[in-house]
Structure 1
Amino acid sequence: MRSERVPTLILLILAGVHLFALSWALSRGVWDFPDSGRYLQAAQNLWLHGELYARSWPGKLPQGQAVQEFTIRTIGYPLALLATGATVISPVVLLVVQNGLSLLNIGLVMRWWARWARPNMRERLVAILGVLSFPAQFIYANAVMSEMLLQSVVVGMMAAGMYYIKTGQRRYFAVIVGASVLALLLKPVFYPLAVVIAGAGGLLAWRRRQMVLGLIGLVPILVVGLYMGWNKQRTGYFHFSSIAEINLLHYNAAGVVRQTQGLEAEELWVASILREVNAQPDFATRQHLIQARARAVLWAHPVVYARQHAQGMAIFFLDPGRFDLSEFLRLKVPGSGLLAQARAGSLLRALGRLPLGLMTLLSMVLLANVARLMLAVRGFWRLRNSGPMLRYGRWLAAGLLLYVALLTGPLGAARFLVPVWPLLFGLALMGLRRGELLLLPNKKAAPVREDERQR
């Protein structure tokens, strides 16, 4: 009978790759990504001045556009930086923790897969190729970025969800709620999930006649409300994160202007909007004006924006990670990102300017992403006949994947897939084997036939 345990060889390969990436990051200093500075600065200001502010503290209350730095980063990851001493000495402890979490997340998915599918060694090696062909996993385990901590929270949320499906015990629903609170404090993309959790809690309370579930489900909304109130006290504007308006202006609306009028028109439009909003008397008026100007563009071109949003969602799953690799390997790559080039209609020209080695690597990762997505769809379909834990659990995994893809929208990239990638990987593993039924959770494993043992 095939074991549920992850073989030592597999663990050694994974540990070796993580150790190599960690050594590279520390020796070359490539853990410092463009967005890392804001996280570190926010943590330092929180420690020195008691202010969550993502730029150098000006010594007096910031005005105008600078006010957005109070809420551009949520408090979760800066607290993690302080806890690991990343702002005082070096990020070594933080990166070691993140690599450990990455190993744990991958190991949990592979062990879960082994429990239900009983893979042979050849299939396990194919699974290893599936991990190695997603370099963003190793890159963000070794960067001062919140993706790996958030990935661990999402894996915990998924595990608790499956155990709740299996047992119906309230403690697992409480873990889901706690994980959702941690997730929204790490990344703003998860704060709308509070509404979903509240709705799920209310539905479960009604169906199970357990009102406590409804009360537990309200906790994330309560946390969001308190956090937004804290932000209002600091900025005068009741909101969760200023990154929403930044993305709305610079990516959502600006992308539509670029597609309809060209790159030069986009730059002029963004500059004119910034002049107008920065002249407003307070931050709240500034942000409301950004929303009004950006939404006017989106409403004027709904089809263009819908196409842009759909394109971003597709790239969310397929992006080979040109930005991530070039940053981690410190490669000087000409031109802007591939998504921007695709929108400008010059993707092929941009690919032609890439170094041959990088273009080959990106092509291999892209093919792996396509295969992984197809296997995930197949795995989702195959689980329709399994036991309740897997049959309903697949909807939880797919729901989280589509939730993040939908809210990321035009910003779709490998980086934003990282937090939910283990869910995609788990579904892909379930679609890996051909012609053999998965074990139902309430049945014992069937003996392995002699011809299977010889494969």
Structure 2
Amino acid sequence: MTAFKSAWEFCKANKMFLFALITIHAVYFFCALHFEGICNGDSDEYLLTAENLKYHGEVYNWVWKSKLDPFFYTLRPPLYGVFIFLLKLIWDNDYFVLFVQNLLSIGNWLLLIHLSRLLKHGYKLELPIIICLLLIPSVLIMVNTIGADWMLQLWLTVALYYFTKFMLQGKWSYFAGYNGALALSVLTKPVMMYFWIPNLLIGIYFYYRQRDYKVLVCSLIMPLVVFGWSLRNQQKTGLFHYSSIKVQNILDLNAGAVLIKLHGAEVANSVKTTVLLKSESIGNYAEKCDFIVENATSIIKENPVIYTSLHVKGMLNFMLSIGRYDLKNFFNTDLDGKEISIFKEIEKRGLLNFIPYYFNSISVWFTAFFLLAFTWNVIILTGLFVICFDKSFPIIIKCFLLTIIFYSAFVCGPAGDVRFKIAVLSYLLLAVPYFYKKTISK
């Protein structure tokens, strides 16, 4: 009853923010209805997972055939597919799934507001959230797309909320909630599969600080979930691993990026195709995966400087990307039919030639929007640097916040993009008031 009363008081005191938040979500939802761009490259895998759960009771990420491919038993973790499956038991409609996703997204931002007030940094987060939703359209595009990015964001916001409550009140139940949210995050997207390592170190730190064995036990939730799902995957495929996406990405995105840099896209595709064709002659699935990983890894090891530069560039793109592909896909538009990838064009033409090309090729409206969006990304990144040296921000919460942001950027590697940043956007927005505090307010 107290929680309901507090929520009601918050809504009454923040009517304009709530109205703006609901309106922006509604606009994107109706755009999804109109443009029908609700599927991206991952969507079929999630929809087919839900379908296979319904008809076969199995988490399998592709079309159910007489001979099933082991790769699709483990490509996507189960949680988002289960989410779709459960909602479609109520109403078998993709737009109903999107409607529920919008409601949960609104809840995510309201939870972030509550979290910011727990931290008592003296600055309201309502305006930065609205600006973020306006200038980073990929946030609500992902909410209105069949995909798990928004769900990962929700679990990580919940994790940060419980972590903050634990730091403020010291109750082990909050630490359990934090670890439970992280476990749900790794069951949502495989990108979190390695975070159990730093998280276990966090648990050990708090164990020695509080001498409470329950804290240490809670830290085992995430690695046990990773271990349990990996055992299930071993049973299905013969290979102990968490997700086959690692095999796909290390060849396509990591080694592929090096090959494109060295030889161009055509040669890169030819090399990758050759590796895959050779792997098909290997009957054992585990040996096939090892063969692909070994070949991809050797390409990376032979070119450490190039790969490192591509990895760093991917991390920078993670922070500054505007989301060109998401806009094109969701709104079914070619955006004037021109290439508008800032980083790609700078690399291809050089900075001096890029500037006149860009402004001559893109309409004034798109140019203005992308400049504003890029500026906002720079503000967020600057706020992140500011918060590193701000002594008023609780040191342990700051360390956790920076750890999970760096982890998310690092594991994306050369494939860094705005859609991957969405997961930690709540964390990044907490730094914006500190940018204001150190710059504009002075």
TM over 0.5: yes
Q: How far does the alpha carbon of each residue in 1:132-187 deviate from its partner, in whole angstroms, 9 at most, with x for none?
A: 21211211111111111111110010011111111221111111111111000000
Shift in Å, 1:26: 2.1
Query: Which of the numbers 171, 185, 188 marks the counterpart of 1:186?
Result: 188
1:379 touches 1:429 (CA, 8 Å); kept in 2? no
Query: Which of the numbers 350, 373, 376 marks the counterpart of 2:381?
Result: 373
Q: Which amino acid aligns with 1:255?
A: A
Q: How far does the alpha carbon of each residue in 1:360-379 deviate from its partner, in whole angstroms, 9 at most, with x for none?
A: 43332112111221123224
Q: How far does the alpha carbon of each residue in 1:88-120 deviate from its partner, in whole angstroms, 9 at most, with x for none?
A: 621233222221222222233334445624448
Q: How far does the alpha carbon of each residue in 1:187-221 deviate from its partner, in whole angstroms, 9 at most, with x for none?
A: 00111112222232233223322223222211221
**Percent identity of equivalent pairs:** 23
For 2:431 and 2:93, how far apart are their aligned partners in 1?
Answer: 37
Residue aligning to 2:67: 61
1:81 touches 1:87 (CA, 8 Å); kept in 2? no
Alpha carbons of 1:35 and 1:356: their partners in 2 closer, same or farther (altered >3 Å)?
farther
Residue aligning to 1:418: 422
Q: Does 1:103 align with 2:103?
A: no
Residue aligning to 1:392: 396
1:41 touches 1:55 (CA, 8 Å); kept in 2? yes
Matched position secondary structure for 2:334: coil
TM-score by length of 1: 0.86
Structure 2: tracts of 5 or more residues without a match: 1-8
Shift in Å, 1:131: 3.5
Cα-Cα RMSD = 2.7
Residue aligning to 1:92: 95
Residue aligning to 2:74: 71
For 1:232 and 1:340, how far apart are their aligned partners in 2?
Answer: 40
Count residues with an aligned counterpart: 425
For 2:86 and 2:324, how far apart are their aligned partners in 1?
Answer: 31
Q: Which amino acid aligns with 1:364?
A: L
Q: Does 1:11 align with 2:18?
A: yes
Residue aligning to 2:201: 199
Q: Which amino acid aligns with 1:91?
A: D
Shift in Å, 1:430: 3.2
2:109 touches 2:129 (CA, 8 Å); kept in 1? no
For 1:395 and 1:258, how far apart are their aligned partners in 2?
Answer: 36
Q: Which amino acid aligns with 1:49?
A: H
1:150 touches 1:419 (CA, 8 Å); kept in 2? yes
Higher helix proportion (structure 1 or 2): 2
Shift in Å, 1:435: 7.9
Moved more, 106-115 or 321-330: 106-115
Q: Which amino acid aligns with 2:410?
A: L
Matched position secondary structure for 1:331: coil
Task: After TM superposition, list the pairs within 5 Å mapping 1:50-449 onto structure 2.
Answer: 50-58=57-65, 60-62=66-68, 66-85=69-88, 89-113=92-116, 116-119=120-123, 125=127, 128-332=130-334, 338=341, 341=344, 345=348, 348=354, 357-382=365-390, 384-386=391-393, 390-434=394-438
TM-score by length of 2: 0.88
Q: Which amino acid aligns with 1:223?
A: V
Q: How far does the alpha carbon of each residue in 1:31-59 deviate from its partner, in whole angstroms, 9 at most, with x for none?
A: 2222211110111012211222222111x
1:263 touches 1:344 (CA, 8 Å); kept in 2? no
For 1:197 and 1:34, how far apart are their aligned partners in 2?
Answer: 31
1:378 touches 1:428 (CA, 8 Å); kept in 2? no
2:98 touches 2:146 (CA, 8 Å); kept in 1? yes
